[in-house]
Structure 1
């Protein structure tokens, strides 16, 4: 059972955030959770018109009079990574105790392969974000994952889903919910939930990159792979590789891949590789002024990556085939030894 203390701490109004890709299941769970915990419920309906839903959620929670605090149902379009970063701030009027992700077991994997986009309330379509890139944050940054509607899912499929969720979010606790009326017995005491820290590396891919990946739920179909290579990608061959990753029959089903990479066409830029299902995003995160210095083994540099530092999590993965494809996509011996100046000239010729 979840224990509650009627005395409100001085660190801000306690908030439990409920996220998930299925609005009906998310709202139903949040409503019952608020009733059980004697907390005030803030729904996504109340946040729907806000330009900044997280700020509005914080404002509404700060005004809550219930001693136990609030349960806030977060809209689809809010990234849980952004939510955690903002509400975990020491100056926030609220105190984020945990993020509960409600997953409909019948649609768990399919929801990560959606190809539609989420547009901000009054934003231009150019500011839209792929739904799958937002949805993956619900799982990866959760402190607790609750599976609903799992009773009719085949045992083998359920075991695979549990293992996949654990690989994606190894720090989250996972619970099967049989009945909303009995949900209080499926949840741990709040103090027992891993302390919510926005700076903690929760996603499984970050654990893979740090070589600290440990899993406790295993399934033969679920695979995690770390790829590390000092060579930049050839831009054309990387483009071909990305298309291959989107084809389930090529290497199995790559559900999630993420990390840091470099491409020869802009080799002084470290990019964030961010892929979910059928959506891929590559955004710059750092810039090196002197690429030749970076490649000098005696130089005092500490980049995010010199070449590729990527994590892959998926179903029925062909590990050898995927590694070979990655190796083919980076620069060859001859291309790499030619140096950064030659890489730039090569790209000009490709254009």
Structure 2
């Protein structure tokens, strides 16, 4: 007969991961959560020296003897998407039950506008990642968002923060934590709640692009929109647009924008547009061998892959002005109809 302990380990050690941008608040929450649930605590201090903190968390979790499992406090530099993939893999000793993001209500929005970079433990500075790009994954991929230190935040500002985090992560439960002694009240009933879903469809921007975006926490200041256009960006005008997005006076405060785009200077490449706060990254995700086919209405190809599919989430956004600026940044009728060969020549003249 298989013992309960062996059966538990064959299914993976149950793990709740705690993430967040404020180390003190994150550790305090994780410590109390472990005590309340009678689980073993693995802290970020134990993981921070590892080249791969996720693999180290899996290794340490395999040694956990507490029947209830473990609570793992995750270091700042670990993306939650990376964490979910690592601890949900068949090679991991862990069974990820949930990802809890601890957000300091008084600083949550400001933390997304930080401009410093995180360097891997043994990596070169060129491998650094913007902290805000990592921090946004903590919110977007959480199964539970626990707001702490909210008592002194003005009511309307608190409502704004609640609505914003819900728009960023519409699939997460959002809870105000009044006191750490009531921490169990924020957790879902494990008998009625499925385990953590490690799929990457949790972020609000992904839901906006798939037209499945639904929210139940609203505030007049929090705005979300989906921009769809079949034309590539003009490289110079796109560069100017990105600078405008960073200026709160231009369209309101664009907290998050993400999606997929094309630029005429390399129009056969689909790029991942990844922007939060004051940081922007554009990374290639696919390459088309024959761009001309994308412009052929009779070809078996989706013409939207030529252009833009972008989501925007922010505060006090001027929808009409933002959409107008995006429209001005893409190719004009004349530029678009000239075709890919002309786009390439145009870029040569810009150099």
- Scaled by the length of structure 1, what TM-score is found? 0.96
- Matching of residues 57-72 of structure 1 within 5 Å: 57-72=57-72
Rounded Cα–Cα distance in structure 1 between residues aligned with 2:184 and 2:198 = 26
Rounded Cα–Cα distance in structure 2 between residues aligned with 1:303 and 1:200 = 25
Q: 1:181 to 1:65 in 2, by over 3 A?
A: same
Deviations 1:309-333 (A, max 9, x none): 0000000000000000000000000
Rounded Cα–Cα distance in structure 2 between residues aligned with 1:238 and 1:13 = 48
Rounded Cα–Cα distance in structure 1 between residues aligned with 2:17 and 2:254 = 29
Deviation (angstroms), 1:305: 2.5
Q: Which residue of 1 aligns with 2:262?
A: 262
Q: Which residue of 2 aligns with 1:38?
A: 38
Deviations 1:202-261 (A, max 9, x none): 000000000111110000000001000000000000000000000000000000000000
Deviation (angstroms), 1:91: 3.0
Q: Which residue of 1 aligns with 2:142?
A: 142
| Contact map agreement 1:144 1:193 (CA 8 A) in 2 | no
Q: Look up the SS of the partner of 1:242 in the other structure.
A: helix
Is residue 222 of structure 1 aligned with residue 222 of structure 2? yes
Rounded Cα–Cα distance in structure 2 between residues aligned with 1:180 and 1:234 = 52
Deviation (angstroms), 1:303: 7.9
Deviation (angstroms), 1:193: 4.3
Rounded Cα–Cα distance in structure 2 between residues aligned with 1:246 and 1:194 = 39
Deviation (angstroms), 1:191: 4.3
Deviation (angstroms), 1:272: 0.1
Q: Which residue of 2 aligns with 1:344?
A: 344
Rounded Cα–Cα distance in structure 2 between residues aligned with 1:292 and 1:190 = 53
Rounded Cα–Cα distance in structure 2 between residues aligned with 1:247 and 1:234 = 20
- Matching of residues 74-89 of structure 1 within 5 Å: 74-89=74-89
Q: Which residue of 1 aligns with 2:231?
A: 231
Deviation (angstroms), 1:194: 5.4
Q: Which residue of 2 aligns with 1:108?
A: 108
Q: 1:81 to 1:335 in 2, by over 3 A?
A: same
| Contact map agreement 1:8 1:68 (CA 8 A) in 2 | no
Q: Look up the SS of the partner of 2:211 in the other structure.
A: coil
Rounded Cα–Cα distance in structure 2 between residues aligned with 1:225 and 1:275 = 15
Deviation (angstroms), 1:300: 1.9
Rounded Cα–Cα distance in structure 2 between residues aligned with 1:232 and 1:99 = 37
Q: Look up the SS of the partner of 1:305 in the other structure.
A: helix
Deviation (angstroms), 1:345: 0.1
